[in-house]
Amino acid sequence: MKTAGTQKRQRFLMMLTGAFAIFFTGFPHVWSIYQPYVTEGTGWTQSQGAMCFYLALSAFVFGNILGGRMQNHFGPRKVLFLGGGLLSAGILMSAFSLVSSPLPMYLTYGVMQGLGQGMMYTVILAAAQQWFPDRTGFASGIVVTANGLCGLFMAPFSRQLLEKEGPKVTLLTVGIFMVAAWILSSLFFASPEENRETAKTGMGEAQSRCRQYTSGEMLRTKQFYFLLATMLFGLISYFMISPISQSYQLELGIPAAAAVSSVMIGSVVNALTRLVLPSLADKVGRIVCIKGVLVIAAAAMILLCFSDSYGATVAVILIYGCYGGIMGSFPSLTSSVFGIRHAGENYGFVMLGIVIATFGTPVLTRMINVGENGMRYVFAAGAVFAAAAFVFIEMLRITLNKSDRSDDYGIGNNEKAASAGKK
């Protein structure tokens, strides 16, 4: 009983402090609030300022891959400590990188912050799923919800501090919070792999029921590329509408209050779907839930094509929710297909779809957005890409079912085994 009670306390403290640390991995998504203040003070162009966001997001993905690989050799606790230190140092140093050349900011805010965030993210996400081997959706949902909540809380906080004190003081203040999150997560981090009793029970049993793919093995499967394509095409609709969600509504004559509210409500829906959908998927199946998200995304983009009023506002909120659904569901889906032992590194490779979508969508939008109805063509293309993602997730389901004819959930051997284990 004492062992069980100790494990529960370890798990609770790890999830609590881990969620606090993961909260700050969403910080790059509020860069749009910082950018006007930074460019005004440094003289950078808008494109130079925007590169800080793209570098941070890209480095985050590669940080997941790097952290997952290092975790296999040095252990999760050391990787968490190194990643948190790199993240904290990157933000604190970025406060002193506001100079005429953007290169120092690219290194500190972009590369250092992104890599550090990715390393922390992969370790905490993997540990959370390992603590709940039969409820990986619930565990990963909590983690990615914390990431999604960053924009909701940090945006108004940052805006007020930027107006009063400017970007240097604001970045230093955020950096101090990140140091606190780094220390707390390092102190209370607990991995089931470090606990022999847990390894013999929950996580050990889950791993024994299904094959645990290394990243090299995963990259040689068709299932990986179906997952990658689903994430890539499923996220394009969000990246199409997110940068222009307010301005497009204003162009349609929708009141500014409604346009701003749609983004705020969309952020809340984004966070809720990150938590609710993965937990629901533990019961009804992950592929089923992701298919539903993609259908809604396609419908929302079609609504944007034909709506000239508040229908566009509804569509924006739906797209934000679909983004949260995809980001919340894919960690546990990846673990269901390829196992949880190497979950962090494996998911890092799947997240390459985010990098491709992030850099490719603006180029695609500029190519399609021509003529009087250019944006409607863009939204129509977004619906097509959502449909393409649906096709790829269905192809994933078919290939998994071939290896398990009795699969009731459309996921494959790993999740089938986990579901059977719960019974």
pLDDT at 414: 46
Tens-place pLDDT, residues 29-81: 788 889 889 999 999 998 898 889 889 988 999 999 999 889 878 888 899 99
Residue 5 or 184, more confident = 184
For the chain, the structural domain boundaries read: 7-207, 211-422
What percent of the chain has pLDDT above 90?
44
Q: What is the CATH number of domain 7-207?
A: 1.20.1250.20
Distance between CA atoms of 42 and 37, rounded to whole angstroms?
9
Q: Give pLDDT, residue 209.
A: 56
pLDDT at 202 over 60: no
- The DSSP-derived string for 261-306 is HHHHHHHHHHHHHHHHHHHHHHHH-HHHHHHHHHHHHHHHHHHHHH
Rounded-to-integer distance, Cα 224 and Cα 230, Å: 10
String of DSSP letters for 113-144: HHHHHHHHHHHHHHHHHHHSTT-HHHHHHHHH
Work out the pLDDT band at 195, boundaries 50, 70, 90. low
Residues with Cβ within 8 Å of residue 170, at least 6 apart in sequence: 34, 158, 161, 162
Distant-in-sequence, close-in-space partners of 216: CB < 8 Å, separation ≥ 6: none
pLDDT band at 208 (very low <50, low <70, confident <90, very high): very low
Residue ranges in 166-255 assigned as alpha helix (H): 167-188, 196-200, 202-209, 215-218, 222-241, 245-251
Task: Answer whether 7-207 and 211-422 agree in fold.
Answer: yes
Q: Tell me the per-residue pLDDT of 284-333, one tens digit each, with 9 for 90 and over.
A: 888 999 999 999 999 999 999 998 889 999 999 999 999 999 988 998 89
* Cα 311 to Cα 303: distance, rounded to the nearest angstrom: 7
Q: What is the mean pLDDT of the chain?
A: 85
More confident site: 334 or 131: 334
Please state the pTM of the whole predicted model. 0.80
Q: Looking at the predicted structure, is the pLDDT value of residue 232 above 70?
A: yes
Burial class of residue 391 (count of CB atoms within 10 Å of its CB; 0-12, 13-18, 19+)? middle
- Please write the tens of the pLDDT for every residue from 97-155: 999 999 999 999 999 999 999 999 989 988 888 888 777 788 888 888 888 788 778 88
Task: Please give the CATH number for the structural domain made up of 211-422.
Answer: 1.20.1250.20
Which of 352, 412, 345 has the alpha carbon at shortest distance from 126?
345
Question: What local confidence, expressed as pLDDT, does residue 408 receive?
Answer: 37
Percent over 70 (pLDDT), the chain? 89
**Residue 409: per-residue pLDDT:** 39
- Rounded CA separation 270/286 (Å): 17
> Does 205 or 43 have the greater pLDDT score?
43
